[in-house]
Amino acid sequence: MTLWSAGTSEFNSHLEQQSNARVLADDCALTPGDTVIVQLGASDVAADVSALVERGAHVLVACQPADVSRAVSAVNAGATDILLEPLSSDTIASHVASSDEHGYGADDEITAWRARYASGIVGRSSALLEALEMASRAAEFDCPVLITGESGTGKELLAKALHDASPRAAAPYVPVNCPAIPGELVESELFGHARGAFTGATNARVGRFSAANKGTLFLDEIGEMDLNVQSKLLRVLQDYRITPVGETRSQRVDVRVIAATNRDLETESSQGKFREDLFYRLNVVQIRLPSLRERREDIALLVEHFLTTISEERGVEPPRLSEAAREALSSYDWPGNVRQLRNTIERLVILQRGRVVEPRHLPAQITRERERTQSEVEGGQQASPRVGGFDLELPPEGIDLRSELLRLEARMIRKALDATHGNKNQAAKILGLNRTTLVEKLKKRPLAMAS
């Protein structure tokens, strides 16, 4: 493993003296697993980091304490960590040792894939990385993909990333917002129509399937589609032939279909609200995007990301968040997920530009939740909190948090397996995990899960 330095001549000289770092140049033989310390400067550091990550490097970003918010974009582009200048030999050694120990593996490949195709999807939580790993694998294969998740989790961004990372990337990407199309016009929109096919059809129209030929058709919120149209969509997905409204001859189309929904289509299909055969046709690969409350560790990173990007878009100085405001944002459940968080930060950028943000400046629903939590604590209602339905008590002598969390995880998994009579698919669904993740956990700690 080689350590490289990418910054001003003074910065490079300092790193060379402190840690024998080599100066990075365009023609350097960078190998996967090497560590590069990039100095935050005037150039587009996110683009530089993304290019280095694609080459398999571990990237650390060095910056002044006042510039940490600017460095967040580099972290989202794949940088492993942020180092505060001036750098000491001990600081450099500890971070390089960590990178060396980590090696180059699956997480790095996911980071590189995200930096290239899905840079708008911000976060480092295991739940999000698991979804991105599935997407990176599915992208190269020409099969239908069903993206599930609550509203505002980023399904549209992931669909575009799947297209951009696929062999069809150079062909059209055609998104369709299913609920926005009037019911009587859905067939015409999807399959096209002939001239005179209905009142007002003065000209022939090419449908979305034909427009996406050789490329990707994204059907957003497909759960809203009428059952009659679902049956026609199913026929298209069976033989990839469409018949425009008013025509008698069918036409061949070469399209990859990606669909998204915030509904439980499996349950709805069993209730007759969605065609079961269409569900199975679309559900070749299902990717579930986690809600924001399932990846709270990503909230702080998202906040910094939006503060930086929105302030730059608006051309204003970003507001500064007090610790109390940050705590309120991190503890809120965000029913509207990332979209709601972005809108909240945009409001703060517009109304509080350059000023310190306190909890009173946040939307009322966020402060109400914070005040409710505080009143419960002050009233002693959290002496014995509950997590996932289990009572937790903190003994005076303290606990080993890591061990307790592992025990709690094992207990939850055992209960889920008991409730489903050992059915791993159903247990994984109850726990909000992919089946492969549950199986891996069972393999790692079989005795703990069984006891």
Q: Over the range 395-408, which residues count as b (16 or more CB within 10 Å of their CB) and which as e? A: eeeeeeeeeeeeee
3-116 and 122-288 have identical folds: yes
For 249, other C-beta atoms within 10 Å of its C-beta total 7
CATH class, domain 294-368, is mainly alpha
Q: Residue for token digits 């022939």? A: 204
Strand partners, 5: 23, 37
Cβ atoms of residues 118 and 135 within 8 Å: yes
In the three-class reduction of DSSP (H, G, I as helix; E, B as strand; rest coil), residue 216 is classed as: strand
Q: Give the pLDDT confidence score for residue 386 in this predicted structure.
A: 46
Q: Which CATH architecture has domain 403-450?
A: Orthogonal Bundle (1.10)
Cβ atoms of residues 254 and 242 within 8 Å: no
Q: Give the pLDDT confidence score for residue 19 in this predicted structure.
A: 72
User: Tell me, which fold does domain 122-288 have in CATH?
Assistant: Rossmann fold (3.40.50)
Q: Where are the alpha helices (DSSP H) in 85-224?
A: 89-102, 106-117, 126-139, 155-164, 186-191, 208-211
Query: What is d(CA 192, CA 423) in angstroms, rounded to the nearest whole number?
Result: 45
Q: What is the mean pLDDT of each run of 10 residues along the chain (451 residues)?
A: 72 74 70 80 73 79 74 73 78 67 58 85 89 93 94 97 96 94 84 76 84 97 92 92 85 96 94 95 95 91 90 92 91 94 96 91 85 58 47 62 77 82 81 79 60 48
Q: Give the pLDDT confidence score for residue 43 in this predicted structure.
A: 64
Q: Give the pLDDT confidence score for residue 66 in this predicted structure.
A: 67
Query: What is d(CA 66, CA 193) in angstroms, rounded to the nearest whole number?
Result: 59
- Residue 79: CA count within 13 A, CB half-sphere: 26
Per-residue tokens: 216? 């990707």
User: Tell me, which fold does domain 3-116 have in CATH?
Assistant: Rossmann fold (3.40.50)
Q: Where are the domains positioned within the chain?
A: 3-116, 122-288, 294-368, 403-450
Residues 6+ apart with CB under 8 A from 382: 376
On the 0-12 / 13-18 / 19+ scale of CB atoms within 10 A, 6 is buried
Query: What is d(CA 118, CA 261) in angstroms, rounded to the nearest whole number?
Result: 19
Which phi and psi angles does 250 have, rounded to 5°? -85, 160
Q: Give the pLDDT confidence score for residue 448 in this predicted structure.
A: 46
